[in-house]
Chains A and B, each alone.
Chain A
Amino acid sequence: MTIKTLGAVLVAAAVLAASLPAGAQGPIRVGASMSLTGTYAKLGNYQHEGYKLCAKQINDKGGLLGRKVEFVVYDDQSTPATAVRLYEKLITEDKVDALMGPYSSPVTEASANVTEKYKKVMVTPLAATTSIFKKGRKYIFMVISPAEVYLEGLVDMAAKRGLKTVAVVYEDTLFAKASAVGAVDLAKKRGMEVVFQEGYPKGNQDFSGMLTKIKAANPDVLAASTYFDDAIAITRQMKELNVNPKMYGVTVGGDLPEFYNLLKQNAEYITGATQWEAALPYPGNTEFAGAYKKEFGREPVYHSAAGYAGCTVWAEAVRRAGSLDSEKVRETLLKLDTKTAFGGFKVDADGFQTAHKMVTTQWQDGKKVIVWPDELATGKLRFPTPPWNQR
């Protein structure tokens, strides 16, 4: 070996070494199938923006393991079958370095079969159905609270105030029923008596029969596991039939500004449940909301925050594991106990979320006030709810 060739090798090695931290391996490519069009488009896009903001912030701070993070996103048109094909493609053709979850429980349920097959870790920030995580799957990780705890705040506040009886009604669909069953269990655990329980079909607009029975049962608490239009219809008809529980709470929809816009003062005293609020004192939450608005020109919703948090948690696990290796990241995620802008993150051995808390809100003088849990509350619960004619 001549001096000249040795020199050339050394120079080559030096160039290689110098470029290693950032460029040599290229960016970390994170694959995801997203509902950018179709039924879930509105919410899927919020989640996508959460991912984008997360990647941008990681890159602005110098990347992950010295590499840039880059999302490879395909549109699944809100259909599980398409998402299955897309994850297969991401893993086998695109050979991405990591995966993030799609939007919604049905799409996640289908996609998880693919990621499990290839033993790829996937943080799934927008799947709230417990059963997805209780089928012995090893590589998926839940971020948001499950359906079963949506009414926990209402039941807990009622129990603390010595209320004894509760009526539970629900739209008879998968998610709403799960949160109603959860509410019944929680109420029984707290020594309350469930005096009435009934489902109603999706799209039902006349609740006279059901509310007449509830009025006769005269429960202290009415817990309604709703979507949105049913929450409006039930509330209006409660007033029409003069049904006056001491506490009345709904789940989905009760936290939306539209809920108050549609019901006006009739929304007062009603509680709603939500996964996240911009006002919550979680680490980095204010900064997240600010950066999000600057980046996308609109306020984040909980789907944005969950997507952002899911990506953040995954990045943190990679950082701690010092590797993108699926097994190592999985081990780290199982041990991870952290707080993000979205709240607590800790999972059990199945990847099922145990630390994240739902919050319960109440409409007070047209403002949405967080009334539960105590440590996050921005105001006190107004209790008891006065009869309709005194509101």
Chain B
Amino acid sequence: MNVAITPAMVGQVVISGILAGALYSMVALGLALIFGVMRVINIAHGPLLMLGAYTTFFLHSLFGLNPYLSVPVTMAVLFVVGVVLQRTLVFRVVDAPELSSLLLTFGISIGLVNLAQLAFTSDLRAVEYLTGSFPLGPFAVSKPRLVAFVFAAGVTGLAFLFLRGTRLGKAIRATSQSREVAMVCGVDVQRVHMLTFGFASALAAAGGALIAVIVAIQPEMGQIWTFKSFLVIVLGGAGNYPGALLGGMLLGLVEQGAALFLTTQLSEVVAYVLLVVVLLVRPTGLLGGRQT
């Protein structure tokens, strides 16, 4: 019953792991931003990703927009959704105990999923645009996943340039390090919170847009991305932005490796075991999290 594992198979799985990991990193970076800046664990992150996927789906099916060209549009739409959510709901729990923010974002998450079920029905939808693979020696490189990788790497790269190079990015990082000091230095913290939530939602939306070309989408697709993103940022160090990149790649490789060397059924278990081990050895995550 067991298939002998060859180096070619390992190579194939490493490719798959890296392709998946880039998406994890990008989506999780959004969650890390919100946690870093507001100390809010955003359970609605996955459902926002789902809204991004549907936005791309409808832009493609109704207006014939190329799904990859739709990525910036979808990001812009969800940026606005994120800003509105922050302004109306999330700002109320920023200074509240963490349980309040968990409950609130959990509520938003349920609300978004149910609204999506009402508005879009729970039928599966797919953006049938790019399928198949590029042959690369003994390997097959999935076309939609490769393009998603390129986009994810690009968007993540831009996000880091933005965080390092721009005034607003620096303000975000400053707020994340110490809100009080940032305020004293003249950073408009409320505005930073609002924009951060918008950026984070846009990152989730980019993930959703790219995933819509890879797999079929439905209103409940998001929750698993909340969990995965959470896993990624805890692995890398909650609130540590490069940590999200490392955590994402690690999760992608570990999941695929476990599916190859063990079974698909166990791949999720292995990911969580890894989490437990990391937390035991380095409670603040691999790259160290933000101190309380």
Contact = CB atoms under 8 A, between A and B. Distances in A.
A263 B12 CA distance: 24
Interface residues of B, number: 41
B124 A198 contact: no
A217 B216 contact: no
The secondary-structure label for the interface of chain A is: helix
A219 to B, nearest CB: 10
Interface string A55-98: 00000000000000000000000000000000000000000000
Nearest to A169: B264
A209 B16 contact: yes
Interface in B109-167: 123-126, 128, 131-133, 135, 140, 142-145
Most buried by B among A198, A212, A232, A389: A212
B1 A216 contact: no
A212 B12 contact: yes
Interface string B260-271: 100111011000
A204 B264 contact: yes
A282 interface: no
B142 A198 contact: no
A210 B259 contact: yes
B133 A208 contact: no
A203 interface: yes
Nearest to A232: B216
Interface residues of A, number: 39
A348 interface: no
B132 A200 contact: no
Contact of A209 (B4, B13, B145, B216): B13
A266 B131 contact: yes
Interface string A224-260: 0000110011001101111000000000000000100
Contact of A216 (B6, B125, B131, B135): B6
Given A198-B265, A229-B124, A262-B124, A213 B216 contact: no
B29 interface: no
A217 B1 CA distance: 9
B284 interface: no
B263 A236 contact: no
Contacts of B257: 209
A206 B255 contact: yes
Contacts of B218: 229
B259 A196 contact: no
A207 interface: yes
Nearest to A262: B126
B224 interface: yes
A259 B9 CA distance: 30
Nearest to B269: A201
Contacts of A208: 12-13, 16-17, 20, 256, 259
B102 interface: no
A27 interface: no
A210 B264 contact: yes
Contacts of B12: 208, 212, 241
Contact of B133 (A195, A240, A262): A240
Interface in A141-186: 172
A335 interface: no
Contacts of B126: 232, 262-263
Interface in B219-271: 224, 255-260, 263-265, 267-268
B215 interface: yes
Given A233-B215, A239-B133, A241-B140, A212 B260 contact: yes
Nearest to A235: B131
B260 A237 contact: no
Of A197, A214, A216, A263, which is in contact with the most chain B CB atoms at under 10 Å from its CB? A216
Contact of A213 (B3, B124, B131, B214): B3
A262 B264 contact: no
Interface of B: 1, 3-6, 9, 12-13, 16-17, 20, 123-126, 128, 131-133, 135, 140, 142-145, 214-216, 218, 224, 255-260, 263-265, 267-268
15 contacts: A200-B263, A201-B268, A208-B12, A209-B267, A216-B5, A216-B6, A232-B124, A232-B215, A233-B215, A233-B216, A236-B215, A237-B142, A240-B144, A258-B124, A263-B126
Closest 3 CB pairs of A and B: A209-B259, A240-B142, A208-B16
